[in-house]
Structure 1
């Protein structure tokens, strides 16, 4: 039986789906409602996470498997470090909301690496709630292009199509105890936030 971390919420989606935006907006709304919220993200801004970001930004090149291992190691530190780890915050009676988690590794690193190997690297607890912002690849790329910034190593059509297909498979294989909230990512930012909050109100204590 898969381990489930209560009071842990994860937001997932393709690059450009709006996961970071929704992390901020959903957290703000929940705090207004009186919930004790801790925001976090992956890759982290801790030392290993910074290495991951360097690879994504093409500051140095490594193999897909090495990148998968870096992600997994950053994730272990993210969960368990005693200073600012996810589990520490949960034990402090906070609800933790993360922009991305190991589902991103399965979806992204699962394109270029053996998926079973990626799964073995990421044998971590599932969140209580998974929010998936379901956005078409073309829409995500339009948003990425509108930013005007240089694309990272994953932000192109063919790759993201494969990532999207991986996400759909992952969602079908979730443990029953994980509550899935699947949102139409083509809705307005405000409508997405409103929909997520409406569903969370029925779940959170």
Structure 2
């Protein structure tokens, strides 16, 4: 075995796991992320959680612009580019360094959000948006993605304040187009994207999340510190 190959192999073994949670607003992503973080830490894994857009100082500033209801005139292309810029900084500053240390990274939204929102709902085309994000992230895709499906505008109905930001201000019609986009992505990437019924009880959903995560951990050969 060459020295170079040994180094590469060692890096691959050390690489952590990137798990993302997607879905419409109010689907319960944050709840599942918190439950999974607690579960994995109890098992002895190093875990970090983050969100998009945001996750860095630069990303949070971009988030403020993207979610500001005063900017309804923002073009779909500008929106997609801002998401990609935030994501690029997030991957470079937070996500990739954590993965290289062997951490499990849990994200509230990632590339699939842009594919669903800008690619499908805004009509830019998912392939074009994918190319943009592939460049922005250096080709970093999730190991596992959970899509929490909540249709019929139920996500918006779960919100305490309506509308609260520019995306929620798009109403049920926008959310339904987004959901259609997510469902198409789940069809295109069945090995990576797991669709879950967000109307089920929280613990029932989490049971399915745990099962899939444990399966992916075994496949990756990831070990805990305990």
TM range (shorter): 0.7 to 0.9
Specify whether residues 48 and 40 from structure 1 end up closer, same or farther in structure 2 by C-alpha distance, changes over 3 A only: closer
Tell me, what secondary structure is at the counterpart of 2:153? helix
Determine if contact 1:49/1:71 at 8 Å carries over to the other structure. Answer: no
Q: Which position in structure 2 is the counterpart of 1:33? A: 43
Cα distance in structure 2, aligned partners of 1:95 and 1:33:
12
Does residue 119 in structure 1 map to residue 134 in structure 2? no
Q: Which has the higher strand share?
A: 1
Q: Which position in structure 1 is the counterpart of 2:88? A: 76
Q: Over aligned residues, Cα RMSD in angstroms? A: 1.9
Tell me, what secondary structure is at the counterpart of 1:47? helix
Cα distance in structure 1, aligned partners of 2:193 and 2:59:
29
Cα distance in structure 2, aligned partners of 1:114 and 1:179:
23
Q: Which position in structure 2 is the counterpart of 1:198? A: 211
Does residue 158 in structure 1 map to residue 173 in structure 2? yes
Cα distance in structure 2, aligned partners of 1:55 and 1:90:
27
Cα distance in structure 1, aligned partners of 2:30 and 2:199:
15
Q: Where do 4+ consecutive residues of structure 1 move more than 6 Å?
A: none
Which of 90, 101, 107 is the equivalent residue of 2:99? 90
Does residue 140 in structure 1 map to residue 155 in structure 2? yes
Q: Which position in structure 1 is the counterpart of 2:146? A: 131
Q: Which has the larger radius of gyration?
A: 2
- Structure 2: unaligned runs, 5 residues or longer: 1-14
Tell me, what secondary structure is at the counterpart of 1:137? coil
- What is the CA deviation profile of residues 43-68 of structure 1, one whole-angstrom value per residue up to 9, with x for unaligned ones? 11422442233331324452221111
Q: Which has the higher helix share?
A: 2
- TM-score norm. by structure 2 comes to 0.78
